């Protein structure tokens, strides 16, 4: 499918001015060299059976290294905002490919779109290569811009916070130079006890705009990573209102561009009223910055060191985490002081009031809302609807469905292994698990059993891999008495309850599922049996790869009137805060990864 | 003249290493691929992040490349084929490679991004872990050769290579060299799965191209150092001396590359603990053993 006969790549122009002749020539000559960032993530591509590498694109970890933004499926509103930030970070020439979805409103039109299929992906790569080779760069692409990228800059007098202008100048009251800040929403409450520490990072960001506000048009390119800056703007006003009067911190930092710790300790001192001598901090005069002075009012970390704390987002598109999951960690150095996870793609629980959905549509919708476990949720919906309609169980159908569920369990656990490999930088594991996952997806029952030795070999290999045990053992131990667990996480909790135990639990389950398939027979994709125009209430529970999912619904004349869905991931996501607290960054990410959270299955 | 030859050899090795790297990751042997993807950086926009420390940001990739080339300058390919046959060659390479830390901290600080910054500081921790394990094994090598001149060190291995004479030192140096080159499983400063690229994260276009070239050059330099210190440098039958140097260097570089592919990234705390509680005592033991051998064996 060719979406645009003129073959113009929309996001192609260089930021300042056009392409140089050399750049254009090189881009044309090396059109075959495509690298892509997959949104929501590589694991979604795999679960759809897409082999991006085979289609001829390299998968990259960061937007900075990508030339193609590959979007798979529909994006939620929050994801669309995050994607705009990612797109803004990509160097030109850059292209957007959308498989099976609508272009998000925050992005320019897609350069190529097709359905979710390997053929569509291959077409897209072909088209991009040809377009680039022909030099199909848009002559006058508009500068990419989206509301989410904006931070309004205004100028405020350090002494008189009521003096605010939208251009630089000097204060009419005291004649001081106005300083720039990012304007935003009214400040939220900083109710947690170290609320002021979070500001350090923001401070750091906005203060630099003194040097730099002339380049505001470039501003959006700088959103640091993966969609977070816009959420940070809110507290600047708050800062300045509270800390009026220590203007030296603003004067000095022309020479001391990065010594933001200085500002912070001043701020603290004032807040706490400890009354230490501000003059002593003026390293603009003394030329010496004492680390003891600078850090003496900062909170102590678990290791007893005083550090700047900063809030750093990981996700929603991050190589070490499942796409759509956003982990916000407060870091001191690379220790995590606190963190929480949210899903940007989770399903909304309640159906719209008074809106009935056709049973078949409901099943399709539920299955496509859960790309990482679509068979399980298809089965869940079928079961609940059939029970509501009062259909008896049919053992042959049940058996075929159960085999399909076990197949998906194997594929899903392999997907998790590939994801873990990405997180741990264990390239062999990622490649091997991804290859096996794709084969399992394409395999029939017989072929599936032929893969048994390969899967057993994978498990044996992991048992022998040096460093793996020391990396996982003792990480992500669940606090005793944690309730609401299910799936592999719950089953591994009886063992050691750490990431190592969860790895082996999943590897064991792969083998168990294979044995079940061997003993039972061919898989059959769950299809709704004839329910006529039945009515009633139905409830079903399915053990999905990630744990128990429960669906109850009311059926009226073959239409789903209302439903309630409860999933394991909705509960497991709450564990994140406890698992990451006080750990090193690497360990915290491993702990979160070991839960195998599917953000799609987090119901809000 | 030597300068040009060594530089060409260095670039050639980098190219071969990149070909092998591509081969292991994609399964296809494509000799042109590294050149093309290197060149492709020229066709892409090179973005400067908002509010960077411009000096640090621009300097870091170039500094890393210079450091790697400086290190290679004292490593001989053949008895006379060395850019600078310094009297303190073995010491000089240490001094040069110390600037890897400086380059990485600059690359971490420069772009004003959290991932990059954490990556840069992580390498400081990594330096504390590996630094002694670079210096102490080299000490033992110099003890045997009774010289810091790299050509003399190679000459001292004419009868018996150091990998046999002091295997413990070789193992320690090899691991420490991998950590210095921040290759997987020691890629803590870049760690794609943990820091989204870390110190690499904000570089694009030409700058990214330079950074990648520098990283590969650093691997070759360290592989070449391993060859000179432990694998008998240019010694070998039939082939000319420079060929042996290149073959050994590439073999070491490729094995560094492959090790990373089959291992998960090491935990920072483990790296530090093992290096200090295990690595340094072993390095001391190595020095004692080599000292005794030097005294006892004529």
Q: What is the pLDDT of residues A440-474, one digit of tens each?
A: 888 877 788 888 999 999 999 999 999 999 999 98
pLDDT score for A18: 64
Looking at residues B170-179, what average pLDDT do you find? 96
Angle at A57 between CA A51 and CA A58, to 5 degrees: 100
Instruction: Please provide the size of chain A in residues.
Output: 604
Distance CA B131, CA B177 (A): 9
Cis? peptide before B147, omega within 30° of 0: no
Identify the band that residue A169 occupies on the pLDDT scale cut at 50, 70 and 90: confident
Identify the band that residue A288 occupies on the pLDDT scale cut at 50, 70 and 90: low
Pick the CATH number of A357-597 from 3.40.50.720, 1.20.120.160, 1.10.645.10, 1.10.10.10: 1.10.645.10
With a pLDDT cut of 70, the percent of chain B lying above it is 100
pLDDT score for A162: 74
Distance CA A41, CA A447 (A): 28
Looking at residues B137-149, what average pLDDT do you find? 94
- Nearest CA to B109 out of B68, B69, B49, B62 is that of B49
- Mean pLDDT, chain A, rounded, equals 75
B213, B254, B7, B133: CA torsion to nearest 10: 90
- Write out pLDDT tens, residues A133-144: 877 666 666 667
Measure B169 CA to nearest chain A CA, in Å: 21
Residues 59-98, chain B: which have Cβ within 8 Å of A? none
pLDDT score for A210: 33
Identify the band that residue A7 occupies on the pLDDT scale cut at 50, 70 and 90: low
Residues 185-224, chain B: which have Cβ within 8 Å of A? 185, 187-188, 191-197, 200-205, 208
Looking at residues A586-594, what average pLDDT do you find? 93
* Residue A110 Cα distances to A14, A128, A134, A508, angstroms: 19, 12, 18, 43
List CB contacts (< 8 A) between B121 and chain A.
333-334
Residues 8-47, chain B: which have Cβ within 8 Å of A? 25-26, 36-37, 39-40, 42-47
Put simply, the answer to whether A425 touches B269 (Cβ < 8 Å) is no
Put simply, the answer to whether A53 touches B26 (Cβ < 8 Å) is yes
pLDDT score for B144: 93
pLDDT score for A129: 87
Identify the band that residue B271 occupies on the pLDDT scale cut at 50, 70 and 90: very high
Put simply, the answer to whether A427 touches B25 (Cβ < 8 Å) is yes
Give the distance between the most distant pair of CA atoms in chain A. Answer: 86
Check pLDDT > 60 for residue A268: no
Q: Which of A23, A28, A64 sits opposite B202 (nearest CB)?
A: A64
Looking at residues A516-531, what average pLDDT do you find? 85
Measure A515 CA to nearest chain B CA, in Å: 29
Measure B94 CA to nearest chain A CA, in Å: 28
pLDDT score for A470: 92
Put simply, the answer to whether B192 touches A318 (Cβ < 8 Å) is no
User: What pTM does this model have?
Assistant: 0.83
Residues 165-194, chain A: which have Cβ within 8 Å of B? none
pLDDT score for B47: 83
Pick the CATH number of A21-133 from 3.40.50.12280, 3.10.450.50, 3.10.350.10, 2.70.98.40: 3.40.50.12280
The neighbouring-strand residues paired with A300 are: A306
Q: A186: buried, middle or exposed (CB in 10 Å: 19+, 13-18, 0-12)?
A: exposed
Asked if A209 has any chain B CB less than 8 Å from its own CB, the reply is yes
Residues 261-280, chain B: which have Cβ within 8 Å of A? 261-270
pLDDT score for A482: 77
Looking at residues A486-494, what average pLDDT do you find? 88
Check pLDDT > 70 for residue A485: yes
Measure A31 CA to nearest chain B CA, in Å: 9
Measure A332 CA to nearest chain B CA, in Å: 10
For residues A236 and A567, the model is more confident at: A567
Question: Residue B296 contacts by C-beta under 8 Å, 6 or more apart in sequence?
Answer: none
A413, A416, A420, A421: CA torsion to nearest 10: 80
Q: What are phi and psi of A416, to 5 degrees?
A: -65, -40
Give the distance between the most distant pair of CA atoms in chain B. Answer: 64
Looking at residues A321-342, what average pLDDT do you find? 88
When computed from its CA atoms, the radius of gyration of chain A, rounded to whole angstroms, is 27
Check pLDDT > 90 for residue B265: yes
pLDDT score for B207: 92
Asked if B235 has any chain A CB less than 8 Å from its own CB, the reply is no
Check pLDDT > 60 for residue A221: no
Residues 556-595, chain A: which have Cβ within 8 Å of B? 584-587, 589
Distance CA A398, CA A388 (A): 17
Residues 122-181, chain B: which have Cβ within 8 Å of A? 122
Put simply, the answer to whether A429 touches B264 (Cβ < 8 Å) is yes
Question: Residue A289 contacts by C-beta under 8 Å, 6 or more apart in sequence?
Answer: A256, A259, A262, A283
Q: B243: buried, middle or exposed (CB in 10 Å: 19+, 13-18, 0-12)?
A: middle
- Mean pLDDT, chain B, rounded, equals 92
Cis? peptide before A316, omega within 30° of 0: yes
User: Most confidently modeled of A84-93, B38-47, B154-163?
Assistant: B154-163
Measure B25 CA to nearest chain A CA, in Å: 8
For residues A287 and A56, the model is more confident at: A56
Looking at residues B54-79, what average pLDDT do you find? 93
List CB contacts (< 8 A) between B46 and chain A.
91
pLDDT score for A275: 31
Distance CA A268, CA A196 (A): 8
Question: Residue B171 contacts by C-beta under 8 Å, 6 or more apart in sequence?
Answer: none
Q: How many CB atoms lie within 10 A of CB A304?
A: 6
pLDDT score for A151: 60
Q: How many CB atoms lie within 10 A of CB A372?
A: 32
Measure A333 CA to nearest chain B CA, in Å: 7
Asked if A27 has any chain B CB less than 8 Å from its own CB, the reply is yes
Check pLDDT > 80 for residue A12: no
For residues A503 and A31, the model is more confident at: A503
Put simply, the answer to whether A205 touches B112 (Cβ < 8 Å) is yes
For residues B225 and A166, the model is more confident at: B225
pLDDT score for B140: 95
pLDDT score for B4: 93
pLDDT score for B90: 92
Choose from A334, A418, A591 for mutation: most chain B CBs within 10 A.
A334
Domain ranges for chain A: 21-133, 150-298, 357-597
Question: Residue A2 contacts by C-beta under 8 Å, 6 or more apart in sequence?
Answer: A127
Distance CA A209, CA A260 (A): 13
- Pairing state between β A164-165 and A68-72: unpaired
pLDDT score for A262: 34
Identify the band that residue B102 occupies on the pLDDT scale cut at 50, 70 and 90: very high
Check pLDDT > 50 for residue A154: yes
Identify the band that residue B17 occupies on the pLDDT scale cut at 50, 70 and 90: very high
Distance CA A392, CA A379 (A): 15
Identify the band that residue A354 occupies on the pLDDT scale cut at 50, 70 and 90: low
Measure A468 CA to nearest chain B CA, in Å: 6
pLDDT score for A393: 80
Distance CA B296, CA B276 (A): 29
CA B133 to chain centre: 13
Which of A250-259, A349-358, B158-167 is predicted least confidently?
Answer: A250-259
* Residue B246 Cα distances to A473, A582, B10, B78, angstroms: 41, 47, 9, 10
Which of A277-286, A357-366, A479-488 is predicted least confidently?
Answer: A277-286
Q: A453: buried, middle or exposed (CB in 10 Å: 19+, 13-18, 0-12)?
A: exposed
Q: By CA distance, what is A319's nearest residue in B?
A: B193
Check pLDDT > 50 for residue A69: yes
Asked if A312 has any chain B CB less than 8 Å from its own CB, the reply is yes
Put simply, the answer to whether A61 touches B203 (Cβ < 8 Å) is no
Distance CA B261, CA B25 (A): 9
Check pLDDT > 60 for residue A2: no
Which of A7-21, A250-264, B26-40, B145-159 is predicted least confidently?
Answer: A250-264
Q: What is this model's ipTM? A: 0.92
């Amino acid at each position: 499918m060719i979406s645009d006969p003129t073959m113009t790549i929309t996001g192609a122009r260089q930021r300042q001015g056009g392409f140089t002749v050399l750049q254009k020539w090189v881009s044309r000559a090396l059109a075959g060299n495509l690298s892509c960032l997959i949104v929501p993530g590589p694991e979604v591509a795999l679960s759809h059976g897409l082999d991006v590498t085979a289609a001829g694109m390299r998968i990259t970890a960061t937007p900075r290294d990508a030339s193609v933004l590959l979007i798979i499926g529909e994006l939620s509103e929050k994801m669309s905002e995050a994607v705009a930030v990612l797109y803004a970070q990509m160097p030109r020439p850059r292209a957007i490919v959308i498989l099976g979805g609508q272009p998000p409103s925050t992005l320019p039109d897609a350069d190529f779109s097709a359905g979710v299929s390997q053929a569509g992906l291959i077409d897209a790569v072909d088209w991009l290569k040809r377009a680039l080779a022909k030099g199909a760069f848009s002559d006058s692409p508009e500068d990419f811009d989206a509301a989410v990228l904006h931070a309004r800059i205004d100028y405020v007098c350090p002494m008189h916070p009521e003096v605010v202008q939208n251009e630089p100048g000097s204060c009419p009251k005291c004649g001081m130079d106005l300083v720039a800040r990012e304007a935003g929403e009214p400040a939220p409450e900083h109710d947690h006890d170290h609320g002021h520490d979070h500001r350090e990072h923001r401070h750091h960001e906005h203060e630099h705009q003194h040097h730099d506000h002339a380049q505001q048009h470039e501003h959006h390119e700088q959103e640091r990573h993966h969609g977070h800056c816009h959420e940070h703007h809110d507290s600047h006003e708050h800062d300045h209102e509270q800390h009026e009067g220590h203007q030296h911190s603003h004067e000095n930092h022309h020479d001391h561009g990065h010594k933001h710790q200085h500002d912070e300790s001043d701020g603290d001192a004032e807040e706490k009223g400890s009354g230490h001598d501000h003059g002593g901090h003026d390293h603009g005069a003394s030329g010496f910055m004492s680390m003891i002075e600078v850090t003496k009012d900062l909170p102590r970390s678990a290791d007893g060191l005083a550090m700047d704390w900063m809030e750093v987002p990981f996700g929603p598109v991050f190589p070490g985490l499942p796409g759509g999951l956003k982990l916000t960690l407060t870091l001191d150095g690379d220790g995590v002081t606190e963190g929480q996870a949210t899903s940007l793609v989770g399903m909304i629980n309640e159906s719209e009031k008074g809106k009935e959905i056709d049973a078949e549509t409901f099943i399709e919708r539920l299955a496509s809302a859960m790309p990482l476990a679509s068979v399980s949720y298809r089965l869940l919906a079928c079961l609940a609807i059939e029970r509501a309609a009062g259909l008896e169980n049919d053992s042959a159908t049940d058996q075929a469905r159960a085999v399909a569920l076990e197949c998906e369990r194997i594929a899903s656990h392999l997907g998790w292994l590939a994801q873990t490999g990405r997180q741990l930088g264990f390239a062999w594991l990622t490649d091997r698990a991804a290859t096996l996952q794709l084969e399992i997806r394409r395999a029939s029952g017989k072929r599936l059993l032929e893969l048994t030795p390969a899967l057993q070999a994978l498990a044996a290999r992991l048992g022998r891999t040096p460093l793996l045990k020391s990396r996982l053992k003792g990480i992500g131990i669940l606090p005793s008495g944690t309730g609401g667990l299910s799936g592999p996480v719950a089953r591994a909790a009886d063992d050691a309850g750490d990431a190592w135990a969860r790895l082996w639990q999943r590897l064991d389950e792969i083998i168990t599922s294979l044995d079940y398939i061997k003993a039972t027979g061919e898989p059959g994709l769950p299809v709704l049996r004839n329910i006529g125009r039945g009515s009633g209430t139905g409830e079903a529970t399915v053990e999905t790869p990630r744990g128990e999912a429960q669906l109850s619904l009311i059926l009226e004349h073959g239409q789903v009137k209302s439903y309630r869905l409860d999933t394991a991931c909705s509960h497991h996501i709450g564990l994140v805060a406890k698992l990451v607290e006080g750990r090193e960054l690497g360990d915290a990410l491993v702990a979160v990864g070991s839960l195998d959270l599917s953000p799609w299955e987090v119901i809000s | 003249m030597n300068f040009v030859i060594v530089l060409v050899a260095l670039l050639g090795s980098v190219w071969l290493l990149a070909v092998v790297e591509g081969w292991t990751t994609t399964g296809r042997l494509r000799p042109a691929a590294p050149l093309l993807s290197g060149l492709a950086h020229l066709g892409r926009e090179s973005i400067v992040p908002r509010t960077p420390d411009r000096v640090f940001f621009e300097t870091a990739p170039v500094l890393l490349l210079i450091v790697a080339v400086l290190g290679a300058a004292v490593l001989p390919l053949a008895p006379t084929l060395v850019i600078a046959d310094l009297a303190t060659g073995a010491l000089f390479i240490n001094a040069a490679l110390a600037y890897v830390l400086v380059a990485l901290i600059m690359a971490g600080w420069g772009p004003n991004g959290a991932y990059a910054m954490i990556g840069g500081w992580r390498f400081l921790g990594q330096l504390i872990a590996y630094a002694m394990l670079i210096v102490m094994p080299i000490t033992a090598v110099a003890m045997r050769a009774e010289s810091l001149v790299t050509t003399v060190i190679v000459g001292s291995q004419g009868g018996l290579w150091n990998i046999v004479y002091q295997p413990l030192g070789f193992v320690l140096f090899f691991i420490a060299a991998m950590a210095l080159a921040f290759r997987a499983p020691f890629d803590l400063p870049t760690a794609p799965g943990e820091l989204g690229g870390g110190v690499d994260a904000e570089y694009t276009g030409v700058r990214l191209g330079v950074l990648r070239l520098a990283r590969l050059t650093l691997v070759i330099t360290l592989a070449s150092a391993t060859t000179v210190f432990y694998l008998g440098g240019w010694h070998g039958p039939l082939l000319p001396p420079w060929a042996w140097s290149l073959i050994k260097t590439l073999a070491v570089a490729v094995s560094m590359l492959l090790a990373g592919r089959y291992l998960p990234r090491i935990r920072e705390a483990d790296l530090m603990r093992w290096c200090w509680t295990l690595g340094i005592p072993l390095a001391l033991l190595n020095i004692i053993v080599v000292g005794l051998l030097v005294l006892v064996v004529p």
